[in-house]
């Protein structure tokens, strides 16, 4: 018998004031170039600048935050608890 799968997604949006600045400070403390950091995290340079300047048009995903944390070796304090 054939079936159809249904997926339910829950979206939670929360403000994290100063997150862009914390990311920028962590990046500036890294020895790699911005180009290399972006490559390692899978985030484009343009999007990275939007994040640092807190100028994204829509909320960034938790997945992106986690990739940035892993790449920079920091905990940015983003939690939904």
Domain CATH number, residue 50: 1.10.260.40
Q: What's the domain count of the chain?
A: 1
Which residue range is the domain that position 47 belongs to? 19-72
Residue 5's pLDDT is what?
Answer: 86
Residue 25 to residue 71: CA distance in whole angstroms: 14
Q: What pLDDT, in 10s, does the model give residues 7-17?
A: 888 889 999 99
Buried b (16+ CB within 10 A) or exposed e, 33-46: eeeebbeebebeee
How long a stretch of residues is the chain?
Answer: 81
pTM given for the model? 0.86
Cα 12–Cα 48–Cα 80 angle in degrees, nearest 5 = 20
**Does the residue 77 lie in any domain?**
no
**Does the residue 32 lie in any domain?**
yes
């Amino acid at each position: 018998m054939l079936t159809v799968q249904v997926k339910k997604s829950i979206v939670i949006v929360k403000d994290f004031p100063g997150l862009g600045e914390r990311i920028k400070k962590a990046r500036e403390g890294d020895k790699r170039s911005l180009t290399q950091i972006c490559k390692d995290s899978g985030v484009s340079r343009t999007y990275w600048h939007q994040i640092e300047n807190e100028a994204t048009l829509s909320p960034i995903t938790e997945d992106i935050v986690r990739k940035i944390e892993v790449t920079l070796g920091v905990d940015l304090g983003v939690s939904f608890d």
